[in-house]
C-alpha cells in the first residue's frame, strides 16, 4: 500500500527517509464502496484522507435529504476540510463519501448514461490511505 501512496503523492519521496517512514508507518488503507461514507457531518477529524484511487465527494445534506456537492477529491489529492478541521479542532463540517464516476468520453464525443446504475456498476471502488492525527491513547 505504501508504494501506491508514494506513487499517487510524489512529495512523499522528497522527504528524508526517516520522516517518510514515520509518516507512512501510520498510514491506514481503506477501500470504500460506492456511496460509502468516510466521514460524517460533525464527526471527529481523526485522520487526513489521501485518495490513491477513485473519487471522494464532499457534500452537505439538508434534513429533507437534498444534497449539494462542495467539491470532489480524486487520485493524488487530499481533503482541505479535513486538514482545516484537524488544525482548528471541532467536527468535520460536511460528509465525505465515495462516488464512482463514469469513464471520460473520447475527445469530440458526448455520451449520457441511460440510468445512474448503468454507468457506475462497472467502476472500481475508492481506495484511500489516511494518516491518523495522533497515536492511540494520546490526544
Domain edges within the chain: 2-103+115-132
State the pLDDT at residue 90: 87
Low-confidence ranges of the chain (pLDDT < 50): 111, 113-124, 135-139
State the pLDDT at residue 100: 82
* Residue 110, number of CB atoms within 10 A of its CB: 6
State the pLDDT at residue 115: 46
Per-residue pLDDT tens over the stretch 46-72: 889 999 999 999 999 999 999 999 999
- Whole-Å CA distances, 87 to 41, 44, 47: 17, 12, 11
State the pLDDT at residue 46: 87
State the pLDDT at residue 2: 83
Q: What's the CATH code, domain 2-103+115-132?
A: 2.60.120.10
State the pLDDT at residue 136: 45
Residue that is written with C-alpha cell 469513464 in the block: 103
Amino acid at each position: 500500500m505504501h508504494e501506491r501512496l508514494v506513487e499517487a503523492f510524489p512529495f512523499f519521496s522528497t522527504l528524508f527517509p526517516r520522516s517518510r517512514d514515520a509518516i507512512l508507518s501510520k498510514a491506514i488503507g481503506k477501500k470504500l464502496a460506492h456511496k460509502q461514507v468516510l466521514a460524517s457531518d460533525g464527526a471527529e477529524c481523526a485522520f487526513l484522507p489521501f485518495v490513491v484511487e477513485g473519487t471522494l465527494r464532499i457534500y452537505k445534506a439538508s434534513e429533507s435529504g437534498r444534497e449539494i456537492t462542495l467539491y470532489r477529491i480524486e487520485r493524488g489529492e487530499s481533503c482541505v476540510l479535513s486538514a482545516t478541521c484537524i488544525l482548528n479542532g471541532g467536527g468535520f463540517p460536511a460528509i465525505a463519501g465515495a462516488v464512482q464516476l463514469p469513464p471520460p468520453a473520447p475527445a469530440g464525443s458526448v455520451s449520457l448514461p441511460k440510468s445512474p446504475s448503468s454507468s457506475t456498476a462497472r467502476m472500481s471502488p475508492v481506495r484511500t490511505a489516511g494518516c491518523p492525527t495522533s497515536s492511540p491513547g494520546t490526544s
